[in-house]
Chains A and B, each alone.
Chain A
């Protein structure tokens, strides 16, 4: 049995030191198997939260690779290092006080104009977004395009860590989505209706009932809950 397992072991180098780990683990689990414990640089472990941005090189390859550590399988000969955090300035703005007619993205993040179209951001994105092209759209103030192209961003920060022009792509995109959401996208009617209902006190009784429950009753209510379904077509957006 031990021999069989031994055949499935690979060698990875974590910050330069060799470790034998079973084949088939993600980069994150390979590091944990080797004794590392993550305080930062790990989160949902399901590819959604963007906390586990990682950098690595493969055996015999010149490419400096990037990925989410929880989504990438460790391979024999990999050199690994986990990023605990990507420093990136998020400039302060009040979304209610900006003038969307101007190019807000250029105003708050003027460094976007330093883009030389090298495409390194796109190559570094674990979500396969066209990061460079949304920065290009940001340069010309196209909020809609930036919003659509960056929608699946999980803000892992790898584009920002790799950019030679020192752009903080994901903050630019977030600002674009906020501007677009507030000033340009269609108002979600069902949300307005629901806010009205809340303000009219439609749910007050229900909230009071929940507040009076003990833990056991709450759990039972949760398990038996009705999942609310929106009527078809009644989703936000266009």
Chain B
């Protein structure tokens, strides 16, 4: 088992526990032990894009100092690649890491400000787990599959934060393929969705515009359904909430709407690795289990 530093983020500990359970199982299946950062703080959630806003980079950089310390203490295998699952945390952490790497003055100011920490040296690489899988090789993933997701028609949903902005996104923002290659590697059938990177409505869901989000869910989910998808996968807890939980409201606005399970990518990976008990299938709002039983991918 290779020990990687791991940043969970608030949502994986709270609303998306099924994301974390399945993430840890998925990593294990790849011989990766995720060593959670001791004492981590919020990634910063939505880092400011303003050029001179430095204060909001303190939170993410503080987490990166923790990774540096883990290496110094030998808690991970000289591994400066920080593994993140949540698209939003990934985006914020990577953006800050990149920012201070390119701006020595800003790094110095942040280091001077954080006078209770050792200096951040700028060496941590923030990696989304999909990238780690891509590095190991999707063929290697296929070799480890115990229960291929045969006959399951899966549509990838990327959202925004996994793909943008340039230099941060993990794939081509206009024509991404990493999730499709992931689905194929697990033996699933890839279904395209023209709206796979259309914004889900993001934070409108907590403000006064839930209807906007429900309309987005209608459009995005139907985009997948029209092409024959059984389910969708994502790696963003906010997208997951907007596409999964918000389906209730979508159904109210559009009585013709048919529900569709929306899972975290790690949930289908844990399934395919024969770890369905750790896939957190009881955590989704729209239950995927009836569908999986129907396709003989789940017993009982």
Report if B116 contacts A (CB, 8 A). Answer: yes
Of A22-30, A40-48, A132-140, the stretch lying at the interface with chain B is A132-140
| Bound-complex Cα distance A118 to B59 (A) | 7
A112's closest neighbor in chain B, by CB?
B42
Asked if B55 and A122 make an inter-chain contact with CB atoms under 8 angstroms apart, the answer reads no
A interface secondary structure, majority: loop
| Bound-complex Cα distance A137 to B113 (A) | 23
**Which residues of chain B have C-beta atoms less than 8 A from A191's C-beta?**
none
**Which residues of chain B have C-beta atoms less than 8 A from A117's C-beta?**
41-42, 44, 58-59, 62
Asked if A132 and B58 make an inter-chain contact with CB atoms under 8 angstroms apart, the answer reads no
**Which residues of chain B have C-beta atoms less than 8 A from A115's C-beta?**
41-42, 59
Least CB distance from A139 to B in Å reads 6
**Which residues of chain A have C-beta atoms less than 8 A from B116's C-beta?**
119, 122-123
A145's closest neighbor in chain B, by CB?
B13
Known: A122-B116, A132-B41, A133-B41. A140 touches B13 (CB 8 A): yes
Least CB distance from B207 to A in Å reads 13
Asked if A130 and B114 make an inter-chain contact with CB atoms under 8 angstroms apart, the answer reads no
Interface readout for B97-140 with A: 1 if CB under 8 Å, 0 if not?
Answer: 00000000000000001101000000000000000000000000
| Bound-complex Cα distance A232 to B104 (A) | 58
Least CB distance from A180 to B in Å reads 16
Asked if A140 and B56 make an inter-chain contact with CB atoms under 8 angstroms apart, the answer reads no
| Bound-complex Cα distance A116 to B113 (A) | 13
**Which residues of chain B have C-beta atoms less than 8 A from A141's C-beta?**
14
Least CB distance from B51 to A in Å reads 17
How many residues belonging to B are interface residues under a CB distance threshold of 8 Å? 18
Among B40, B56, B59, B113, the most chain A Cβ lie within 10 Å of the Cβ of B59
| Bound-complex Cα distance A103 to B56 (A) | 23
Interface readout for A56-92 with B: 1 if CB under 8 Å, 0 if not?
Answer: 0000000000000000000000000000000000000
**Which residues of chain A have C-beta atoms less than 8 A from B113's C-beta?**
118
Asked if A142 and B13 make an inter-chain contact with CB atoms under 8 angstroms apart, the answer reads yes
Q: Which of B35-61 contact A (CB under 8 A)?
A: 39-42, 44-45, 55-56, 58-59
Known: A123-B116, A132-B41, A139-B42. A116 touches B13 (CB 8 A): no
Report if B10 contacts A (CB, 8 A). Answer: yes
Q: How large is the interface on A (under 10, 10 to 19, 20 to 34, 35 or more residues)?
A: 10 to 19
A123's closest neighbor in chain B, by CB?
B116
**Which residues of chain B have C-beta atoms less than 8 A from A142's C-beta?**
13
| Bound-complex Cα distance A181 to B228 (A) | 51
A-B contact count (CB 8 A): 40
Contact of B42 among A122, A123, A136, A164 (CB under 8 A): A136
Least CB distance from B66 to A in Å reads 11
Interface readout for B151-185 with A: 1 if CB under 8 Å, 0 if not?
Answer: 00000000000000000000000000000000000
Least CB distance from B99 to A in Å reads 15
Asked if A140 and B39 make an inter-chain contact with CB atoms under 8 angstroms apart, the answer reads no
Least CB distance from A158 to B in Å reads 16
Least CB distance from B176 to A in Å reads 30
Asked if A136 and B13 make an inter-chain contact with CB atoms under 8 angstroms apart, the answer reads no
Asked if A116 and B55 make an inter-chain contact with CB atoms under 8 angstroms apart, the answer reads yes
Least CB distance from A128 to B in Å reads 12
**Which residues of chain B have C-beta atoms less than 8 A from A130's C-beta?**
39
**Which residues of chain A have C-beta atoms less than 8 A from B40's C-beta?**
136
| Bound-complex Cα distance A103 to B114 (A) | 29
Asked if B58 and A139 make an inter-chain contact with CB atoms under 8 angstroms apart, the answer reads no
| Bound-complex Cα distance A164 to B59 (A) | 14
| Bound-complex Cα distance A103 to B11 (A) | 12
B57's closest neighbor in chain A, by CB?
A116
**Which residues of chain B have C-beta atoms less than 8 A from A116's C-beta?**
44, 55-56, 58-59
Least CB distance from A64 to B in Å reads 12
B60's closest neighbor in chain A, by CB?
A117
| Bound-complex Cα distance A117 to B10 (A) | 14
Among A113, A117, A141, the most chain B Cβ lie within 10 Å of the Cβ of A117
Interface readout for B7-28 with A: 1 if CB under 8 Å, 0 if not?
Answer: 0001101100000000000000
Q: Which of A91-131 contact B (CB under 8 A)?
A: 103, 113, 115-119, 122-123, 130
Contact of A103 among B14, B42, B45 (CB under 8 A): B14
Among A113, A136, A140, the most chain B Cβ lie within 10 Å of the Cβ of A140
**Which residues of chain A have C-beta atoms less than 8 A from B41's C-beta?**
115, 117, 132-133, 136
Q: Which of A155-174 contact B (CB under 8 A)?
A: 164
**Which residues of chain B have C-beta atoms less than 8 A from A132's C-beta?**
41
**Which residues of chain B have C-beta atoms less than 8 A from A140's C-beta?**
10-11, 13-14
Residues in B lying within 8 Å of A, measured CB to CB: 10-11, 13-14, 39-42, 44-45, 55-56, 58-59, 62, 113-114, 116
**23 contacting pairs across A/B (C-beta < 8 A):** A103-B14, A113-B45, A115-B41, A115-B42, A116-B44, A116-B55, A116-B58, A117-B41, A117-B42, A117-B44, A117-B59, A118-B55, A119-B116, A123-B116, A130-B39, A136-B40, A136-B42, A140-B10, A140-B13, A140-B14, A141-B14, A142-B13, A164-B55
